[in-house]
C-alpha cells in the first residue's frame, strides 16, 4: 500500500474545485494568449479554404503531408482516454482515479482537433457533407464503403460519442457538488447539467453501472479506431512504405504510447498549475511510467517487425524506400531524432525509480515521446509518397509551407485552450473518485474496534 | 491482360514504344483538347503541372552503352485500378466500357486516388484554372473546365467516344474501327499511339496487342491496365517481350 496523506472531504472539495470557485492568477493571461493563437489559426484555415490548397507545400507525388500526419498524431493522443479510463477501470487499477477525467478530456478534445484535419485538407471542404453526412440517396450515389476514408468518420464519430458520454457520466456527481456550491447563472447551469443528482444509492448504482457498461462498449473502439486510420495507408498497394499488413496493431500500440505520454505531460502541468500535490502524486507517475515501459517496448518490437517484413521480401523498391527513410538527408536526421525521442532516451530513463517519481523529468520525457511519435507518422507518410518511382517525372520533394505549420501549431493551442476553458467550469480531477479511494483505505470504528475498511487493495 | 467482361466496347490503347520519337505532340494535343491550364514555369518547378499524357525519358543499359528511350505515359485505365476503391465518394469508378472515369462533380479532393496510383497520372487542381485572355475563346466546349480542389486525369477523350457513339446510334450503325481517335493518337506523327476497342477481335488494337513485344507498365501491382505497350526493338540486340518493363 502506498503512503498517502489523510485528506478530509472539505479539503478535497476546496482544493479540487479551486479552478471553478476561484480563478487562478495565471488563467486569464494564458487563455488570452492561447485565444490569440487559436484566432490566428482559424484565420489561416479560413484563408486556405478561400484561396485553395495551393497555399500548402503539397506537390506531386506527395499529396498528403503535414495535415494527415497531424491528424494521425491527434487520433493517437486520443487513445489515452480509453486506455486509462476504460481499461484501467475494468481491471480495477486504483491508481487511475485522479487521472481518469484528464485522460478522457484529452480524448474528446484531441478527437475534435483531429477531425478538423481531413476536412480542411480536402480540395472542396464545402462538399464534405456529401462524403460523411447524409447520403445523397436521391441521385443513387452512395459513399464508397470500401474506402477507409468512409470508415474513418464512422469510427471517429463513434469514438467521440462514446467518450463524450463517458466523460459526462463520470462528471455528474461532481456537477451535483458544484451546483451546491454556486449561485446565480452558474448554479442554473450546473442544476441543468447535474440531471437532478442527489447522490442516493440508486443514482450511484446507475452511475457506476453506466460507467462500466460504457467502458466495456468502448473496448472494441480501442482496437478499431487506429486500425482504421492505419488502413488509410495500408491498403495503398502501390506505395511501398504504406502497404503493410502489420499497420493496424502497430498504429494502435503507437497510439497508446503517445496517448499515455500525453496524459503524463498533462498531469505534470495540472499538478504545477493548480498545486494538486496531494492528489496527483509521484506514485501515479511511477505507475504510468511502468505502463509506458511495457507499451513502448511493445511498440519498438512492432517498429522492428515492420522493417523486417518490409526487407524480408527483398523487393528492390521497398529496400530503396527504407534506405531513403533511414540514410538519406533529410529523412535520416528525422529518423535519428525519432528513434532517440520515441524510445532510446525516455525508456531507459524510466527504468529508474528516481526518474519515474521525478515530476519534471517525467514531464520532459513524455514530451520527447510525443515528438518522436509525431515524427514516426511523418516518416511513414511523407517518405512513403516521396519515394522514387520508376518515373523521373515525379521525383520531387515536399516542404511544408508556413500555412501548414501555422495550422499545426494552432492544433496544439486549440487543445490547450479547450482544456483550460473546461477547467474553468468543471473539475479536472474527479472529486468522487478521489473520495472513493479515500474511503477504500479509511479506518472505520465498529463499536470500539478500529477496523481498516479496505474494500479493495489500493495499489 | 485486359478482360473481355465488358459490353460491346472495351476501350484501350496500344503504344508502340519503338515508334515513339519523343516529339511531345501528344502532350500538346491533349493540353489543347482537354482544357488543361497552361503549365507555367512556376507550376512545373513546384511539381504542380498537369499533363494527362507525358513522355518519360529513361535510360536503358549501363554507361557507355546507355541509350535514351521515350515512353508516353497516360492513365492506364486499369481494370483493377488502385485508385477506384479508395475514393470515398465514387468520384472515380470503372464504367461498362472499360474506362476509368473521373466524375468532377462528385470529387471532394481527398487526393487519396493520387496516392494510390502507381503511375502517378492523376493531377490535383491546387488553384482555380486561368488562361490568358487570348486563349479564353479557344477552350473546348465539349470538355468540362475543372475547378480548383478536384482531381483530373486522362479520360481517353471520353467526349469523342460519346460523340461517335451518338452519331453511330442515330445512324443505326456500329462504330467503325478507327473512327474514334483520342487527341493524342490523332496527333501522333508516327502512329505510336493507337486507340480502339479490345472487345472487337478484328480491331487494329486487338491485333497489335498480340505482338510478342507486348508488356504492361508496373505489372507487379496487378493493375491489369487497358494500355498495352509494345517494347522497343533494339537494332543491336534482341529484346524480348516485356524487357523494357523493367526499366528503372
Beta carbons of B108 and A128 less than 8 Å apart: yes
Give me the phi and psi of B151, to 5 degrees please. Answer: -90, 150
Residue A393 sits in a domain whose CATH number is 1.20.1630.10
**pLDDT, mean over chain B:** 88
- pLDDT at position A137 is 60
Say if the Cβ atoms of B48 and A63 lie within 8 Å: no
Query: pLDDT tens across B31-52, in order?
Result: 999 999 999 999 988 889 999 9
Residues of A in contact with B85 (CB under 8 A): 144, 146-147, 235
**Band (B160; pLDDT cuts 50, 70, 90):** very high
- Residue B57: list chain A partners with CB under 8 A: 392
d(CA B154, CA B164): 18
Domain around A208: 9-452
Task: Give one DSSP letter per residue of chain B, joined into a string.
Answer: -----SSS--EEEEEETTT-----HHHHHHHHHTTPPP--HHHHHTT----SEEEEEEEESSTTS-EEEEEEEE----TT-TTTTT-TT-SEEE-TTS-EEE-TTT-----HHHHH-TT---EE--S-----GGGGGGS-TTSPPP-TT-EE---SSHHHHHHHHHHHHHHT-PPPTTS---HHHHH-TT--EEEEETTSTTSHHHHHTTSTTEE-TTGGG----SEEEEPPPPSSS---TTGGGG--
Quote the minimal CA–CA distance from A8 to chain B in Å: 55
ipTM of predicted assembly, 2 dp: 0.88
| Record: contact A52-B58, CB cut-off 8 A | no
Q: Are A65 and A381 in contact (CB under 8 A)?
A: yes
The reply to whether residue A59 touches residue B117, judged by beta carbons under 8 angstroms, is no
- Does residue B114 sit at the A interface (CB-CB below 8 Å)? yes
Does B116 sit within 8 Å of A238, measured CB to CB?
yes
10-residue mean pLDDT series, chain A (459 residues)? 61 80 88 96 95 91 93 92 76 78 90 92 84 63 82 89 90 90 90 91 92 86 89 89 91 93 92 87 88 94 91 87 89 94 94 92 95 94 89 84 96 95 89 76 68 51
Radius of gyration of chain A from its Cα atoms, rounded to whole angstroms: 24
Q: Which of B71, B123, B149, B220 to mutate to test the interface with A (most CBs of A within 10 A)?
A: B149
Total number of domains in chain A: 1
At a CB cut-off of 8 Å and minimum separation 6, what does A40 contact?
A406, A410
Query: Hey, is the C-beta of B54 within 8 angstroms of any chain A C-beta?
Result: yes
Residues of B in contact with A144 (CB under 8 A): 85, 87-90
Q: What is the mean pLDDT of residues B155-183?
A: 92
pLDDT band with cut points at 50, 70 and 90 for residue B247: very low
Instruction: Supply angle C-alpha A15, A19, A22, rounded to 5.
Output: 90
Q: What pLDDT score does B1 carry?
A: 39
Cell of A47: 484563408
Kindly state whether residue A342 falls inside one of the protein's structural domains.
yes
Q: For residue B237, what pLDDT is reported?
A: 62
Q: Are strands B123-124 and B53-60 parallel, antiparallel or unpaired?
A: unpaired
Residue A2 in domain: no
User: For A141, which of B106, B111, B127 is closest by C-beta distance?
Assistant: B106
Q: Does B89 touch chain A (CB under 8 A)?
A: yes
Inter-chain residue contact B119 with A61, CB threshold 8 Å: no
A216 CB-near residues (< 8 Å, 6+ apart):
A86, A90
Peptide linkage before A273 cis (omega within 30 of 0): no
Q: Which of B236, B232, B227 is nearest to B244 (CA)?
A: B232
Question: Residue B14: beta bridge partners?
Answer: B194, B228
Domain presence at residue A458: no
Of the candidates A192, A158, A162, A190, the one whose C-alpha atom is nearest the C-alpha of residue A177 is: A190
Angle A100-120/A402-425 helices, nearest 10 degrees?
150
Average confidence (pLDDT) over B94-117? 92
A459 in any annotated domain: no
Domain presence at residue A30? yes
Q: Per the domain annotation, does A29 fall within a domain?
A: yes
Which one, of B30, B27, B155, B33, lies nearest residue B95 by Cα?
A: B155
Q: Is residue A394 part of a domain?
A: yes
A165 is a domain residue: yes
Residue from B182, B217, B211, B183 nearest B196 by CA: B182
Is the Cβ pair B88, A131 closer than 8 Å? yes
Q: Which domains are present in chain B? A: 11-246 (3.30.70.20)
d(CA B45, CA A119): 28
Amino acid at each position: 500500500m502506498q503512503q498517502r496523506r489523510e485528506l478530509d472531504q472539505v479539503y478535497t472539495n476546496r482544493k479540487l474545485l479551486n479552478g471553478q470557485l476561484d480563478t487562478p492568477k495565471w488563467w486569464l493571461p494564458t487563455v488570452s494568449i492561447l485565444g490569440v493563437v487559436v484566432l490566428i489559426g482559424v484565420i489561416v484555415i479560413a484563408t486556405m479554404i478561400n484561396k485553395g490548397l495551393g497555399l500548402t507545400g503539397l506537390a506531386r507525388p506527395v499529396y498528403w503531408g503535414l495535415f494527415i500526419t497531424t491528424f494521425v498524431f491527434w487520433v493517437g493522443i486520443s487513445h489515452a482516454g480509453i486506455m486509462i479510463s476504460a481499461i484501467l477501470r475494468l481491471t480495477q487499477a486504483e491508481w487511475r482515479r485522479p487521472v481518469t477525467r484528464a485522460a478522457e478530456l484529452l480524448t474528446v478534445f484531441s478527437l475534435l482537433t483531429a477531425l478538423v484535419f481531413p476536412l480542411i485538407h480536402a480540395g472542396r471542404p464545402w462538399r464534405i457533407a456529401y462524403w460523411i453526412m447524409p447520403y445523397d440517396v436521391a441521385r443513387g450515389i452512395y459513399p464508397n464503403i470500401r474506402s477507409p476514408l468512409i470508415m474513418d468518420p464512422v469510427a471517429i464519430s463513434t469514438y467521440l460519442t462514446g467518450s463524450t458520454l463517458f466523460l459526462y457520466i463520470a462528471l455528474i456527481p461532481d456537477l451535483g457538488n458544484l451546483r451546491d456550491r454556486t449561485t446565480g447563472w452558474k448554479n442554473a447551469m450546473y442544476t441543468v447539467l447535474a440531471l437532478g443528482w442527489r447522490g442516493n444509492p440508486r443514482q450511484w448504482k446507475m452511475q457506476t453501472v453506466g460507467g462500466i457498461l460504457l467502458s466495456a462498449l468502448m473496448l472494441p473502439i480501442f482496437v478499431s479506431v487506429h486500425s482504421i486510420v492505419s488502413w488509410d495507408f495500408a491498403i495503398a498497394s502501390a506505395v511501398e512504405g504504406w502497404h503493410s499488413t502489420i499497420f493496424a496493431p502497430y498504429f494502435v500500440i503507437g497510439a497508446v504510447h503517445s496517448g499515455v505520454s500525453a496524459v503524463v505531460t498533462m498531469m505534470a502541468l495540472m499538478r504545477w498549475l493548480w498545486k494538486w500535490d496531494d492528489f496527483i502524486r509521484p506514485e501515479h507517475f511511477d505507475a504510468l511510467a511502468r505502463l509506458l515501459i511495457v507499451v513502448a517496448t511493445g511498440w519498438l518490437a512492432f517498429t522492428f517487425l515492420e522493417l523486417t517484413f518490409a526487407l524480408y521480401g527483398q523487393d528492390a523498391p521497398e529496400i530503396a524506400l527504407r534506405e531513403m527513410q533511414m540514410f538519406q538527408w533529410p529523412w535520416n536526421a528525422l529518423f535519428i531524432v525519432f528513434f532517440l525521442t520515441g524510445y532510446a532516451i525516455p525508456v531507459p530513463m524510466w527504468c529508474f525509480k528516481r526518474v519515474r517519481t521525478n515530476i519534471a523529468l517525467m514531464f520532459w520525457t513524455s514530451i520527447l515521446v510525443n515528438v518522436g511519435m509525431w515524427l514516426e507518422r511523418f516518416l511513414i507518410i511523407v517518405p512513403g509518397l516521396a519515394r522514387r518511382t520508376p518515373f523521373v517525372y515525379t521525383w520531387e520533394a515536399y516542404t511544408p509551407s508556413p500555412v501548414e505549420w501555422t495550422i499545426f501549431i494552432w492544433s496544439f493551442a486549440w487543445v490547450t485552450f479547450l482544456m483550460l476553458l473546461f477547467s474553468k467550469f468543471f473539475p479536472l480531477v474527479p472529486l468522487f473518485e478521489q473520495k472513493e479511494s479515500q474511503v477504500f483505505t479509511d479506518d472505520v470504528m465498529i463499536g470500539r474496534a478500529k477496523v481498516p475498511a479496505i474494500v479493495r487493495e489500493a495499489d | 491482360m485486359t478482360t473481355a467482361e465488358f459490353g460491346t466496347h472495351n476501350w484501350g490503347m496500344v503504344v508502340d514504344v519503338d515508334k515513339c520519337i519523343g516529339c511531345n505532340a501528344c502532350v500538346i494535343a491533349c493540353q489543347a483538347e482537354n482544357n488543361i491550364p497552361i503549365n507555367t514555369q512556376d507550376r512545373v518547378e513546384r511539381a504542380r503541372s498537369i499533363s494527362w499524357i507525358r513522355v518519360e525519358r529513361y535510360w536503358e543499359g549501363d554507361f557507355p552503352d546507355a541509350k535514351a528511350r521515350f515512353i508516353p505515359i497516360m492513365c492506364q485505365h486499369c481494370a483493377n485500378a488502385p485508385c477506384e476503391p479508395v475514393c470515398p465518394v465514387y468520384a472515380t469508378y470503372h464504367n461498362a466500357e472499360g474506362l476509368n472515369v473521373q466524375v468532377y462533380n462528385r470529387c471532394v479532393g481527398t487526393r487519396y486516388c493520387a496516392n494510390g496510383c502507381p503511375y502517378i497520372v492523376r493531377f490535383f487542381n491546387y488553384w482555380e484554372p486561368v488562361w490568358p485572355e487570348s486563349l479564353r475563346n479557344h477552350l473546348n466546349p465539349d470538355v468540362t473546365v475543372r475547378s480548383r480542389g478536384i482531381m483530373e486525369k486522362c479520360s481517353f477523350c471520353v467526349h469523342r467516344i460519346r460523340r461517335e457513339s451518338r452519331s453511330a446510334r442515330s445512324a443505326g450503325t456500329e462504330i467503325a474501327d478507327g473512327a474514334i481517335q483520342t487527341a493524342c493518337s490523332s496527333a501522333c506523327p508516327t502512329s505510336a499511339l493507337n486507340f480502339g476497342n479490345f472487345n472487337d477481335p478484328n480491331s487494329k488494337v486487338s491485333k497489335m496487342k498480340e505482338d510478342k513485344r507486348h508488356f504492361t507498365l508496373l505489372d507487379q501491382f496487378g493493375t491489369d491496365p487497358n494500355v498495352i505497350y509494345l517494347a522497343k526493338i533494339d537494332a543491336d540486340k534482341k529484346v524480348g517481350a516485356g524487357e523494357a518493363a523493367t526499366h528503372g
